[in-house]
Amino acid sequence: MFFSRQDKSSGHMGVLGTVGTIGMQLVAATFVGLAMGYFLDKWLGTDPWLLIIFLLLGIVTGFRDVYREAMRLQRRSEEEGSGPGAGTR
C-alpha cells in the first residue's frame, strides 16, 4: 500500500521537475545566443549585428524547445489517461 502511493507521487514529482526545467531551457538558449553573438561581434568587429541575430536565434530556439517539451508532456499525459477531462469525451 505504501509503495503504490509513493509511485504515484513520484510520477507527479517527475512531471513537476520537467515543468520546472522548461523556463530554464528558454533562459539558457537565450543566454547562449546572446553570448555567441557578443563574442563573435568582438572577434569579427561587426558590432551590433551578430549580437542581434544570435539573440533572436537563441530566443526562437528556446521557444521551440519549450513547445517540444510541452507537446511531449501532453502526449505522455494522454497516454497515461491522466489528462484534464480524461474520460469525459
Give the integer Cα–Cα distance in Å for 56 and 39. Answer: 15
Instruction: Name the residue ranges covered by the structural domains of the chain.
Output: 20-76
Name the more confident of 88 and 71: 71
pLDDT tens-digit series, residues 25-66: 999 999 999 999 999 999 999 989 999 999 999 999 999 999
This prediction's pTM: 0.71
